[in-house]
Structure 1
Amino acid sequence: MRRWTGAWPVTDQAVAATGSRRFFGRQRELKALRADIERTGLDTLTGRKAPRARVLLVAGRPGSGRTALAEELAAEVADRYPDGIFRARLTEPGGVPVPTARAAQELLAALGVAEPPGAAEDELAELVRGAFAGRRAVLILDDAVDAEQADPLIPDEPETLVIGVAGGPLTGIPDVRPCTLGGLDPKSAIELLTSFTGSVRVTVDPQAAETLVEECGGLPAAVVLAGGWLSTHTKSSVADLAKRLREPSGDPLTRAFLLAHDGLPATAARILRFLALAPLGRADAHTASALAGCSVSAAATTLADFEALGLVSAGEDGQYEVRAHLVPLLRA
C-alpha cells in the first residue's frame, strides 16, 4: 500500500500485497478490532439506527506498527467492503498536521467527486461525507492529530468502516474504543527479525535474539532496523548487534536508527537526508540524484538498499518516502 501524503483509493493489487509483506504478531489486537466491527454501538442499544460509520482506532507511538496494523485489518476485511478502501494521510512527513480542507479535497479527488470552486472547509467535508453515502467502503484516517481534525471526515454512512490511526485517544469522537499498541510479544518480534536475517543466525544463539528484541523494546520499527542492519553485516552475530545497541543512550528507535544511519556511506547518508527534505517528503531516483548530486543509477540502487534496510517505503509509482517515524530523527 502506498503511504504518501494525501488521499487515494487503495488498489486490489495493493490489498493483495499486504498479506505478503512483513507482518507478524498482533493477532490479539486484530481479533479485538474485528470484534469491534460487530459490536453493538450506543445508537443501536438505544433503538436508533447508527447515523455514522463505525469508527475503530489504532493508537500507539511512532514506530509501533500502528499503520501496518490498520493496513492488515483493512486487507482482512476487504471482501466485506466491495466499494473500496480509501486512505487520507492527516499528518505531513515532518509532523505538520494536514488541514482538514486539504484532506477533504484530496479525498474528493480519490472518490472522483468534483470540487466546487471556492468551497469552504465545511462544504468540502460535507461533500466527502456525502460521497460515501450508500458505499460499503473502508476509510483509513492515517496519523490523525485530534478529533477536531478527523471528525468532519467521518462519513454519515453506517455501512462504511473508518479506521483511525493516531498517537492516542481521539477524545470527542463518540463510541470509539482505542486499540492501544505496545511492543510486539517476544516470539513475534523474533519472527520479524528472522525475516531479515534468516533462521540460522537466530537459532544458533536464541538467547541473543531475545536480548536483541528486548533492546529494541519490542518496537517493530526498531526490530526492522536491527534486522536490516544484520542483513547487510553478514559477518556480525546477533549478539554483536545486541551489545552495540546497548551502548548508546536514547530510546530503542533512536539507538537502532543511529546505528543504521552511521553505517551508511557518505553519499547514501546525503541522499537519505535530502529525501527527508524533498517536496511532499518523497522522491524517485531522478529527484534523489538531483538532490544529492549523484548519478540516477547510484540513486536507484541506494533507494532500493534503503528499502531493504527499513529506512524508506516504496510506492507503486516508483516514489520512495522516508518512514514517518524516522523523519524527526533525520531532521534533528
Structure 2
Amino acid sequence: MAKLTDLSLQLSRAAGMKTDFVPTLSHHRVLPSDNLALVVLGNLDLLLDSVQSKIRSLELSWGKFLDDHPQKANSLLNSLINEMRAAPEEFWKALRTISFHDYSTLGPGRWLNDEILNYFIEKWCKGSRTLGFGTFFAGSCLFEDKNTCLQAKRCLTGEDEERVFRCVKRRLEMLSLDSWDAVFIPIHEASSHWYSVRIDFKLKRIDIFDSLRDTCISNRQKPVPLRKNSNLMLVLMWLAEILGSIRGEDVCLTNNPLTSWRCDPHSKVPFQPNTFDCGVHTLWHLKHILQYREITLGKRSAEDGLLFTQDMAGKRLRLAQELLHDGKARKI
C-alpha cells in the first residue's frame, strides 16, 4: 500500500501538468509532439484513477480487518507509536501543529487531545460544505467558562455576536470555503470528555452527538428543562440564527414553536463502551456528517469503511497512519 500511495502522489503531480499544458497550445502552432504529450498525460490520468481505486479497495479491506481484530490493531498501533518516537524533527515540522506528544494520544486507552481533533477537523473540512470549527470555538462563544465548557451561557450579548462573526470569518479563510450549509463544533467538557454539535441549514436540524451512554439514559428520566444540554441547545438556537444571518438566510428559532427546524439534544449515536474513546467517536461523527450528512448505521457505513465498532482501536490506527502519510507527503 505504501508504494501505491507514493505512486499516487507522483501521478497527482503529473496530472497537474495537463492543466497547465493544455492552455498553452493555443499560443503556438500545434506540433506532432503536442498530441503525443496529450496522449501521455491522458494515460497518466487513467493510471492515477486506477491506482486510487486500488488504494481505496485496499483501505476498505484493511479497515475491516482492523475492526474484526482489535487486539491486532492495538498491537500494531503500539508498535507504530513506539517507532514514531524516533521520527526526525523534520517530520513533525512537516505536520506543523502535531508533536509526538500529540500523536501518542492516539495510542490504546488514551484521550485524544485538542491538537489531534483540530488537525483532522481542519483537514477533512477544507474545501467541503461543512464549516468545522476548532476545539476552542465552543469555550470562547458558547460557554461561561471557556476552560471547562460545563455551563452554557445564559445571557448573550452583542459582544458575543461579534465574536462569532470574527471566528466565522477566520475559519472560512482557513478552510477555503466559498459556500457552506452545515456546521460542526467539537466540545471538550471539563477536559475529560469530547462530544459534538451539528447545525445543518439544508436539513434544518440542530443535533448534539454524545457517545456516553450514562448521560443519555439519565437525561431521559428528567424533565426537559433539567436535562443536560437543555441550556446549550438554547445557545445553539441563537448561534443558528447568527450563522443564518451570515449566510443571508432568515432563521428564527427563539420563541418560535412553529419553526420547521428540529432540535435534538441527544441525537442517536453509537455509545462508547469505555471512558476514553470519546475523541475517536467525535471524529467519526464528523466523517459521517461529511459523507452522509447524518450519523448512518448498518450496512451502508460498513461498506464505506465508516462503521462504528465496540472497540475503536482500528480507527485509532487508521488515524495514526493517516498522520504518518501526511507527514511523509509534505516532506517530499
Bin for the TM-score computed over the shorter chain: under 0.3
The structure with the largest alpha-carbon Rg is 2
Using structure 2 for the length normalisation, give the TM-score.
0.23
Using structure 1 for the length normalisation, give the TM-score.
0.23
* Structure in which a larger fraction of residues adopt helix: 2
